[in-house]
Every structure is written in C-alpha cells, then in structure tokens.
Amino acid sequence: MRSSATDGSWNWQMRGNGTMASRDDTTLGNELRLTLLDCDPQWLNSVEKVSGLVRDLCERLDVTIRSTVEHQFEPQGISVVAILAESHCAVHTWPEEGKATVDIFSCGPADPVEVVPMLVRAFNAQDIRVEVSERAAVSAPSTHSYPNFPEYILREPPYGHFPVTTFRRGVGREYILEPEAVSWQKFFTSSDYEPPAGTDILLLHPCSWAKPYDFSHFITRLRSVTDRFPRVHRAVISNVGVVPFEYQMNDFFCSYDYMDLDADRPVEDKQSIADDFTRITAQRISDYIGAHSTRYRAVVILGHPFANGYQAAVQQAAVKAGLPGFQAPSVDTYHAAQVEVSEDRDWDAPLFADRSLDELAQKLTMLVAAVDRREAADAH
C-alpha cells in the first residue's frame, strides 16, 4: 500500500576493497523436508488437528496409512508419525518457537511437493524452508546456456526435483513460498552461485508482466541504459524472489502471474497479502545482498520512492555491508513520470518512463566514476 514519499537519497559510506523426475535403479524414492515458521499456535499444540492434517495429506497424495503414532509432549509439542505402505509421513511441532517440521518420503509415484500449499494454509505459516530430493540419487546439475543467447543460463532446479512447471496465477503465501521458489532463493544466496564475471554493481529492479523479463517492453527500455554499463549486474525483484537476470529463462521464472490485489476481496485480505509479500521479499533482498556483499562494489535500486517500498530493505542491507549506492527515480522525477505515463495502467510504468531512465543513467555514470576513484585510491 502507498504511504508517504521519501526523497530517495541516503548517505552510504564507500567501502574499500506435475511429476517428479523419473527414477533409475539407484534411486529409492521422493523425499520432502519442510520447516514451517511463525505458525498458528492453536494448530501447533493440538493432537487432533495435526493428526487430522496427516490423514488429509495422505489422502491427497493417495498413499496408504498402515499405522499411526501420536505423542503429546509436556508442557507442549506434538509428534505424529504415519507409517505408509509407501514409506512414512512425520509431523513435529514446537509451539514455543512457532515452528513445525514435516518429512514425507514415498517410494511410490506420489509427489510430496503437491501438499506444501496445503501445509502452509493449515499452519498459517509466515515462512518456510524446504528441500526436495530423490533419495540416494547422485548426479551433477545439468547447466548450459540458452540457444543463441549465451548470457542466459539454464539449469535443473537446485536442491531437489520438483513437479513439471505449469503456469501459476494466484495470490497469498502459498504462491510466494512455492517450494521451487524457496529452493532457487537458497541457491542464489549460497556459495554455489556467483554473479557473472566482470560485474560488481548490483542493480535491483521490478519484474514485468510479460515473460521472460528481458523481452518485455519495460525491461527492454531499461536494458537500453544498463547495457551501456558493463559492470552492472541486474537482478529482478519478483513474486518468486530475487532473480539474477541470467537465470530468468528457466521455466519456473517464465510461467507465473499473480492477480491484482485490487480484485474483489475484503480489505483485510488485501492488507494481509500485501504485508506478507513485502515482508518476505524484503528479507529475500537482504539475504541476497548479504550473501554477495564481498562480490559487489555498489548497490542500486530502481523502485518506487515511497517509505513502504523496498528502498529501506536495500539501504539497510547495503549499509550493513558497507556498500555505496542510490535509489532512482527521485520523488520529483517520479511524480513527473507519473504524469508522463498517466494512461498506462501498469503500476511500474513511471519507473521506466524516459525521465526516470535518464536519471538512472546519470546517477550510474557518477557512481561508476566514484567506484573507479575509490579503487584507484585503494591501489595506492
């Protein structure tokens, strides 16, 4: 939701230097390991609710329960374990920490990932951590460039095997916290991922309705600026997380669209969804900058200059890492751009208006010069 505007400036200190993948004879089955955080405490300490949920999960997965063990810990906490004809399903809760863990292993055709949205809704989880794997499968991820566009990287989803990607449209935590989205974010904030060689200025910008992002009208306009600065590395702030531009061609990032929050729904639902999205995305931005703070020399955000935008998350993470940077466009430029694109219904249109991109280019020129000067000073 909109709130008061900010001037977009801050004083950052320059720093010195559908189905699971097919299994072969060496693979035992599919496993889901899920941690649900900030959950509804009424669910976390109810044996009846958790046991009922385990039965619902198994029914949804079409697996057969052979026996069930339930235990209520003192003073709080629950464990429910179902022994399946296909393997097991275990749920453990920690009400005092607002946390639950779920482990589902199936040696049959069941795809445990299918029940993650069901679990998020049931526990009213505010965040999740997820791993999906083929137990005992050992293989290196297949990575290659996109045909005729070597700047884009295609690879298998990290840290597990996920259902075949299908188009998704919806709003709510179960979409923001899709298991594959969480897995990609874990990869992008790990030592397994490195920004492209030769880039050391991070530029964060919004996603686009059209996919892939780089071939949309707005991002094509943005690239006319950023392509002039070889040191700039773009990363997209999207509903599925922070996406480094070079990975955008992977199926998962090309097949989603989330409905407008202005759709016919209660005001409290809109606010709750908006709050969830802002909180989770701000944390993903902070995690990404923190993970690569020694790799970048500066951070820039192209975003709405409002107090409840992502400027604050970017600024806080950058200041903590000792990275300089700026936010564009300024408030005055933004308001003028709103008039310029008043007939465009896209909320992000002012960010890609001529005057906004001209300001971005000017500020990038000054930032690159400042980073060059600091590097020259450090060399002496």
Catalytic residues: 87, 92, 107
Cα–Cα distance for residue pair 263/48, rounded to 1 Å: 36
Return d(Cα 253, Cα 208) in angstroms, integer.
Answer: 11
Residues 10, 328 contacting (CB under 8 angstroms) = no
DSSP notation for 261-320? TTSSS-HHHHHHHHHHHHHHHHHHHHHHHHHTTTT-SEEEEE---BTTSSHHHHHHHHHH
Query: What are the two backbone dihedrals, phi and then psi, of residue 301, each rounded to the nearest 5 degrees?
Result: -125, 130
CA angle 283, 278, 7 (to 5 degrees): 95
DSSP-derived secondary structure letter, 5: B
258 to each of 89, 294, 376, how far by Cα in Å? 31, 34, 46
Residues in the chain: 380
Cis, peptide link before residue 329, omega less than 30° from 0: yes
| C-alpha 257: how far from chain center | 14
* 347 token code pair: 């909320």
The β-bridge relationship of strands 149-155 and 143-146 is antiparallel
